[in-house]
Structure 1
Amino acid sequence: MRIGELARRSGVSERALRYYEEQGLLSPNRTPSGYRDFEESHVDTVRRIRSLLAAGLSTAIIAELLPCMVDTGEGLAPGCPELLPHLERERDRITASIDELTTARTLLTKVITTTPPVGAC
């Protein structure tokens, strides 16, 4: 199928699909005239990519993990136990970011609540 069809079926823009290809996440065949020729399996691959992106993973990490990820019917899971440290490291990174944002929100709330009433300046 051509890129437009994959975009329609996966709900992802053609631009994003080209980016996924540049990042090594998709590998379509090429027709003699140079058009991308995607397989049916690429629809599921794009859905897996989107799921992993939504989980906060970068495309570089996804490129490493994607070949070993399996769909359990309830979501994606690592098909190889050696992927767990990668996933745990990413979860820890996200947790640290959440903690930093929570601290920033708390400080901003303090600034807002200690601001003098309008007209006091």
Structure 2
Amino acid sequence: MLNVDIGVKVKPETGRVMRIGELSRRTGLSTRMLRYYEQEGLIHPERGANGYRDYTDDDVARAKLIRDLVGSGVPTRLVSIVLEQRDDREGTWTSKCDRDFAARLVGEIEDLDGRIACLTRSRDALGELLRLTLTHVGSREASV
């Protein structure tokens, strides 16, 4: 069998190639944040022979999805799991959405509930401190 693989990568037709600066402009994400997302394995740009990162329109859509997930409070460690459950080309969920994924989501929700309860207690304590402070300030002003 003749091996005709010459090691040349050909990108599927997904739109024109752009540099990180244009991706930054199109997504509203800083170049530093895009590099961080790459470091975390959330985006996977091709590298040209010159070492530059090459991005496509698919990368724009993926980076925007990551931005929206992170912006809504989803931690990056969970974003990678969520992205594994999506078919980027179709924009739909894959068959990988299973009980393990659901259990992880339940765990995240339980963690959030715990943090919300803690924040609520902190808010209540600060509110009580404010009430006491205003009562004290009001009684001092009344005695002057």
Matched, 1:36 2:53: yes
Which of 74, 81, 84 does residue 102 from structure 2 map onto?
Answer: 84
Separation (CA, whole Å) in 2 of partners of 1:111 and 1:12: 40
Query: Which structure 2 segments of 5+ residues have no match?
Result: 1-17
Matched, 1:17 2:34: yes
- RMSD over aligned Cα atoms: 2.1
Query: Which structure 1 segments of 5+ residues have no match?
Result: none
Separation (CA, whole Å) in 1 of partners of 2:131 and 2:72: 34
Aligned to 2:137: 117
Secondary structure of the structure 2 residue equivalent to 1:117: helix
The two structures have a TM-score, normalised by structure 1, of 0.83
Separation (CA, whole Å) in 2 of partners of 1:114 and 1:20: 46
Task: Give the paired residue count.
Answer: 116
Secondary structure of the structure 2 residue equivalent to 1:114: helix
Larger Rg: 2
Which of 97, 112, 117 does residue 99 from structure 1 map onto?
Answer: 117
Separation (CA, whole Å) in 1 of partners of 2:123 and 2:87: 37
The two structures have a TM-score, normalised by structure 2, of 0.71
Identity %: 35
Q: 1:92 to 1:69 in 2, by over 3 A?
A: farther
**Cα offset for 1:118?**
6.4
2:62 is aligned with what amino acid? T
Separation (CA, whole Å) in 1 of partners of 2:67 and 2:20: 16
Aligned to 2:62: 45
Aligned to 1:6: 23
1:61 is aligned with what amino acid? L
**Cα offset for 1:11?**
1.3
Question: Which aligned runs of 4 or more in structure 1 are off by greater than 3 angstroms?
Answer: 76-79
